[in-house]
């Protein structure tokens, strides 16, 4: 019983840490893919609305109202051969108390994709 009482908190922290890491990593993968899709849409001449719709469809499992989308340069200033950058940020809620104290709650996951305009 004594060994269980000593080891159980460490074991639970390890298990919940793995779960929280999985949530953050999954969100990171979704944002990377969505930023790439948005950048690809931007380089072929799409408008801001079309780009955000593509990002929203690509990241359909996330709450799009919490996502921050930044596209530079603006649609008017895009010239052939220059680069366009899509930057996404999304807050991930951390539920484990000790881990949220260490990394912050919410943990902000960000991704950026840059492509050359065609």
The tens digit of pLDDT for each residue in 19-63 reads: 999 999 999 999 999 999 999 998 988 888 999 999 999 999 999
Residue 69 has pLDDT above 90, yes or no: yes
Token readout for 71 is 């596209």
Neighbours of 5 (CB within 10 A): 8
- Report residue 54 as tokens: 């593509």
pTM: 0.85
DSSP 103: H
Over residues 85-109, the pLDDT tens digits come to 999 999 999 998 888 888 888 999 9
User: Residue 97 corresponds to which tokens in the numbers above?
Assistant: 């108390």
Cα 16 from Cα 1, distance rounded (Å) = 22
Cα separation, 53 vs 66, in Å, equals 15
């Amino acid at each position: 019983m004594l060994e269980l009482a000593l080891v159980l908190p460490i074991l639970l922290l390890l298990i919940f840490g793995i779960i929280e890491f999985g949530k953050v990593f999954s969100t990171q993968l979704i944002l990377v893919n969505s930023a790439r899709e948005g950048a690809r849409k931007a380089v072929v001449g799409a408008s801001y609305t079309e780009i955000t719709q593509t990002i929203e469809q690509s990241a359909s499992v996330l709450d799009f109202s919490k996502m921050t989308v930044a596209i530079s340069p603006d649609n008017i200033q895009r010239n052939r051969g220059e680069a366009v950058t899509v930057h996404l940020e999304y807050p991930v809620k951390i539920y484990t108390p000790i881990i949220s104290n260490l990394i912050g709650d919410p943990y902000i996951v960000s991704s950026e994709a840059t492509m050359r305009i065609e």
